[in-house]
Chain A
Amino acid sequence: MSETTGARPWSPSPLALERAAFRRAQRRRSGLVALVSTALVVTAVVLVVVGAPGWERARTAFFDPENAWAALPAILEGLWLNLRVWVIAGTVGTLLGLALAVLRTSRIPALFPVRALAIGYIDLFRGVPVLLVLYLVGFALPALRLEWLPTSSAFLGALAIVLTYTAYLAEVFRAGIESVHPSQVAAARSLGLSRAQSMRTVVLPQAVRNVTAPLANNLISLQKDSGLISVLGAVDAIRAAQIATTGTYNFTPYVVAGLLFFLVSFPLTRAVDAYQRRRGWGRSLATVTGGGDIR
């Protein structure tokens, strides 16, 4: 078999140096153009907004620092509820969604009724607005007077969100599973792996990696939708902001809440991007599909 020979010592030829210099100059020029165009756009936006006739009133109604500071503690406390709902609903929804997606592919006859139910469930909850599910769960469930069911609005709100997002996430995972080429399953089964073993070791790892982006998008939108539990009366960040605005006609608390939601989700989106880039495998896929460094 061939062995690698030691690389010969190399120093860049004049041609290579000249090309490298050109690429550097081009990068500098690109950077400059980007900078100038950014400055132009920002200036234009600022001029339009600040020059608007209602700017002064809008500024005090939406960006009042004093008001923001006063509302902050209550909103932060509300946000803490959002975060808990997000983490719990996200975890439960992800696990259930994954389980449902895998279940749909199983061929165990005894599981047929469960499979049929799962499909019906997913179809139903993908087609119904979250807000409606929230109202139904929040107001209809307690009406059943089930002893064992907690009736706090935060719990019911989280339940409604889990119900909806489990269906979304199940579809994400299903798309992931279907994106794995059948030849991968053939290779796994050919080695003697069982259906379940190839699902676990060959299909799922690739499926999850193939859908990291839509998965993260769903989890981020779950974080935002956790604000919807406020319609049931749970005092989350949005409800806290609403309370703070009553009587003042100053909407700054909403802006504060929005900013806080953004501050939570933004690092997540960036973390997912970075994570995907860091994986050798993800990167090489990117170069296959997206062209990577192709000039």
Chain B
Amino acid sequence: MTALLSLRGVRKTYPAPAAARGRAGEEARVVLDDIDLDVDRHRCVVLIGASGSGKSTLLRVVNLLDEIDDGQILLDGQDVADPRLDANAVRARMGMVFQAYNLFPHMRVLDNVTLALRLVHRRPREEADAAAVEMLRRVGLAHKATAYPDQLSGGEQQRAAIARALVHGPELLLLDEVTSALDPELVGEVLDLLAELRGEGRTMLVATHEMGFARRVADEVCYLHDGQVHERGTPEQVLGDPQRERTRTFLSRLAS
């Protein structure tokens, strides 16, 4: 059986800043360098790595929010990096939670959650509302359905963003640094939710700094360094007994 998501030789560069262009040694910055990665169905792959190592970039290119320079992104065996494909339809099969949540400030939480159902999945209003309320209940936000995002706490915004990404039943869930802005108690709350999703057999690709989460729900951990997957394996292997020097340094810095 093919993996739900496979990256094959994915390369992504960002152009050097305009100010530095043309100067010697200031070429395009390679953020993802020949990345191979598989996410099997019902599995959770966790990306770890230093700030700036390309975790968010990897999630963005999978979500087709950025174009790759080379390689293939296979979703269910189909190369979605092919520009001939309808990117909107591909994105509609995924759910993404952004590092900064990116909720729509001019819409109530409920409308944030129903937007894609109504516009992309063409569900009638009542049906979309019912599905959204159900999803908000799951993430413990049913009582905030009519609030605006800026009336929510950080953890509530996070959960609203998760509800928005989940409500259309995406095949693949992309989560970027889901707990970066939360205090420990809220982190626990959100991580419980994610563990629950994992238990339901969702397929997830998650970037995180939260090693506890990686240990708890990851089937595989990938350590990104220098644009490459520097080390990968089960959480026990990578986090417990890293084989490579860089990984050890990174983990020991986190621990201290």
Whether A and B are associated in the same complex: the answer reads: yes
Residues of A within 8 A of B168 (CB): 191-192
Given A1-B140, A281-B150, verify A194-B104 contact (CB < 8 Å): no
B interface bracket (residues with beta carbon within 8 Å of A): 20 to 34
Give B119-146 as 1s and 0s: 1 = Cβ < 8 Å from A's Cβ atoms.
1110000000000000000011001000
Q: B102 near A192 (CB under 8 angstroms)?
A: no
Given A1-B140, A281-B105, verify A191-B92 contact (CB < 8 Å): yes
Give A153-194 as 1s and 0s: 1 = Cβ < 8 Å from B's Cβ atoms.
000000000000000000000000000000110111111111
Q: A209 near B106 (CB under 8 angstroms)?
A: yes
Give A253-295 as 1s and 0s: 1 = Cβ < 8 Å from B's Cβ atoms.
0000000000000000000000000001100100000000000
Q: Give Cα distance in the complex from A281 to B152, angstroms.
A: 13
Q: Which of B96, B102, B150, B189 contacts A184 (CB 8 A)?
A: B102
13 contacts between A and B (CB under 8 A): A1-B139, A1-B140, A2-B140, A190-B63, A191-B116, A192-B120, A193-B88, A193-B119, A194-B88, A280-B148, A281-B150, A284-B150, A284-B151
Given A187-B104, A281-B105, A281-B148, verify A192-B116 contact (CB < 8 Å): yes
Give B69-110 as 1s and 0s: 1 = Cβ < 8 Å from A's Cβ atoms.
000000000000000000011011110101010111110000
B115 at interface, CB cutoff 8 A: yes
Q: A186 near B92 (CB under 8 angstroms)?
A: no
A202 at interface, CB cutoff 8 A: yes
A206 at interface, CB cutoff 8 A: yes
A201 at interface, CB cutoff 8 A: yes
Q: Give Cα distance in the complex from A183 to B66, angstroms.
A: 12
Residues of B within 8 A of A191 (CB): 91-92, 115-116, 120, 164, 168
B254 at interface, CB cutoff 8 A: no
Residues of A within 8 A of B115 (CB): 188, 191, 193, 201
Q: A1 near B102 (CB under 8 angstroms)?
A: no
B65 at interface, CB cutoff 8 A: yes
Given A1-B140, A191-B116, A191-B120, verify A183-B91 contact (CB < 8 Å): no
Which A residues are within 8 Å of any B CB, using their own CB? 1-2, 4, 183-184, 186-194, 197, 201-202, 205-206, 209, 280-281, 284
Nearest first, the 10 closest Cβ-Cβ pairs linking A and B are: A1-B140, A192-B92, A187-B102, A191-B116, A192-B120, A190-B96, A192-B91, A183-B102, A284-B150, A205-B106
Q: Give Cα distance in the complex from A197 to B88, angstroms.
A: 11
Which B residues are within 8 Å of any A CB, using their own CB? 60, 63, 65, 88-89, 91-94, 96, 98, 100, 102-106, 115-116, 119-121, 139-140, 143, 148, 150-151, 164, 168, 189
Q: Smallest distance from the beta carbon of B72 to chain A beta carbons, Å? A: 20
Q: B63 near A183 (CB under 8 angstroms)?
A: no
Q: Which residue of A lies closest to B141 (CB)?
A: A1
Q: Give Cα distance in the complex from A188 to B96, angstroms.
A: 10
Given A189-B91, A281-B106, A281-B150, verify A183-B98 contact (CB < 8 Å): yes
Q: A186 near B88 (CB under 8 angstroms)?
A: no
Residues of B within 8 A of A186 (CB): 60, 65, 98, 102
Q: Give Cα distance in the complex from A281 to B105, angstroms.
A: 7
Residues of B within 8 A of A184 (CB): 102, 104
Given A2-B140, A192-B88, A281-B148, verify A187-B119 contact (CB < 8 Å): no
Residues of A within 8 A of B119 (CB): 193, 197, 201
Q: Smallest distance from the beta carbon of A109 to chain B beta carbons, Å? A: 15
Q: Smallest distance from the beta carbon of B187 to chain A beta carbons, Å? A: 13
Q: B98 near A187 (CB under 8 angstroms)?
A: yes
Q: Which of A189, A193, A202, A280 contacts B65 (CB 8 A)?
A: A189
Q: Give Cα distance in the complex from A188 to B120, angstroms.
A: 11
Residues of A within 8 A of B65 (CB): 186, 189-190
Q: Which residue of A lies closest to B104 (CB)?
A: A202
Most chain A CB within 10 A, of B63, B89, B92, B105, is at B105
Q: Smallest distance from the beta carbon of A198 to chain B beta carbons, Å? A: 9
Q: Give Cα distance in the complex from A117 to B93, angstroms.
A: 39
Q: Give Cα distance in the complex from A205 to B105, angstroms.
A: 10
Q: Give Cα distance in the complex from A2 to B103, angstroms.
A: 22
Q: Which residue of A lies closest to B116 (CB)?
A: A191
